[in-house]
Copies of this chain bind each other. A is one copy, B any other.
Amino acid sequence: MDNPKVIFLIIDGLGDRPLSELGDLTPLEYAKTPNLDVIATEGINGLMTTLGRGKVPGSDVAHLTLFGYDIEKYYSGRGPIEIAGLGIKLQHGDVALRSNLGTLDTNSNLIVDRRAGRINDVSGLIKDLDGIEIDGVKFIVKPGTGHRAGVIMRGDGLSANITDADPHIDNVAPAMPKAKDDTKEAQRTVVILSKFIETAHKMLSDSDINRTRAKAGLPIANYLLVRGAGFYKSVPSFESRYSMRACAIAGAGLYKGVGSYLGMDILDVPGATGLPNTSIEAKFNAAKDSLPNYDFIFIHVKAPDSLAEDGNYMGKANFIERIDNAIKILFELKDVLLVITGDHSTPSALKKHSADPVPIVFRGPGVRKDNVTSFGERACAHGGQGYISGIDVMPEVVNLVGLAKLIGA
């Protein structure tokens, strides 16, 4: 018998709290989910606390943990993860920063538009910035989505312990990055980065594209607003750790970033937007079609989290019903271990992430099916899996597909 393949579906912000508006049910409990309920019935269920009880995870940290990567060891800020999502290969020692291209009004010295009129493509503008060297540090600059770009500093003796150059609001002066500690690495990094920001500002101001924009009355994109510096520490690939060839199917950049960060292939799925208008079917069909090529397929669905952060509990419930409707595509597949959970709870009444545990189900060959018959926060609390910590999920997966290594003799 071959080892079963794994489809790992993370429904962002899946867990919630009971709402009086829903008759004291959570959006997941309120939603009609006949297919998820069949999966729960055929699987072993439990509740998952991503970082352990009472700890509220951010999305980056939650995903690293669910993939079995200890964040103490492998996480140093969102920058490197977002940058990895742009398809840039990072090297140990790189400092990675997210960036907007914004509009600096040179008379007032204020950032008048942090997104330069939501310019939809910055590749032409930043082309000449890519590859600049300053004091022995090479700058790699690549376009992100819309007004965004990724900036990498590559060289010896750098530090990511620096503040943002992005003021995060419009109509204030741009901040120069500052060292957060007294090390010479941090001091050196802010000096070099500041020189680069100045150089970039001059080059962007001189660019033909901006001249054309100015003539057209559009805000010019003449200033790099860098933020979220992170130091890339070399990360063993998912495949090297688990002996499973892996890919990621996600709409939103961060989740592609997590996949890239761990060396997964990123599948480009038309219709996958990371927004409520995403095509869930397109994602699930892409997983189905890719199954011959991969041992592990990570699918991310973002909208339940965003909807809950807007307090839109009914939108969240409806979106969960759409997932339920599409999930037949996955659960009809043979010899697959299907794992469904969330990265954390996002209670719609709180409108933010919480540490409430999230339902988890493992359904596939050999699992010890339990008595749970519906997929929900309260139902899964009685499952055979009990409480499971996020960091233990991948070891369970690896065990269930028979790939776990023996300790001792």
Q: Which B residues touch A53, using CB under 8 A? A: 388-389, 392, 395-396
Q: Is the CB of A368 within 8 A of B406?
A: no
Min Cβ gap A166→B in Å is 14
**A75-B408 in contact given A392-B52, A395-B55 (Cβ < 8 Å):** yes
Q: Which residues of B contact A399 (CB under 8 A)?
A: 54, 56, 354-356
Q: Are B408 and A62 in contact (CB under 8 A)?
A: yes
With A368-B17, A402-B354 in contact, do A59 and B386 touch (Cβ < 8 Å)?
Answer: no
Check B60 against A408 for contact (C-beta < 8 Å).
yes
Interface residues of A in 358-409 (CB under 8 A from B): 366-371, 377-378, 381-382, 384, 386-389, 392, 394-399, 402, 404-409
Q: Is the CB of A406 within 8 A of B54?
A: no
The answer to whether the Cβ of A228 comes within 8 Å of any Cβ in the partner chain is yes
- Main SS of chain A's interface residues? loop
With most chain B CB atoms within 10 A of its CB, the pick from A18, A58, A399 is: A399
Query: B368 to A377, Cβ gap below 8 A?
Result: yes
Question: Once the chains bind, are B17 and A406 in contact (CB under 8 Å)?
Answer: no
Q: Mark A28-66, 1 if CB is under 8 A from B, else 0.
A: 000000000000000000010001111111111110000
A350 an interface residue at 8 Å Cβ cutoff? yes
Do A78 and B395 touch across chains, with their CB atoms under 8 A apart?
no
Contacts of A368 in B (CB 8 A): 17-18, 26, 356, 377-378, 381
The quantity of this chain's copies bound in the complex is: 2
Question: What is the distance, in angstroms, from A207's C-beta to the closest C-beta of chain B?
Answer: 31
Chain B residues near A405 (CB, 8 Å)?
56
A384: chain B residues within 8 A (beta carbon)? 378, 381
A90 to chain B, nearest CB (A): 17
A376 to chain B, nearest CB (A): 10
Nearest residue (CB) in B for A56 is B404
Given contacts A57-B408, A386-B387, 11 further A-B contacts (CB under 8 A): A18-B367, A24-B369, A53-B388, A54-B396, A56-B406, A61-B408, A62-B408, A354-B404, A369-B378, A381-B386, A386-B386
Could you give 8 example pairs across A and B, Cβ below 8 Å?
A17-B366, A55-B407, A57-B406, A60-B408, A352-B406, A354-B404, A378-B384, A386-B386
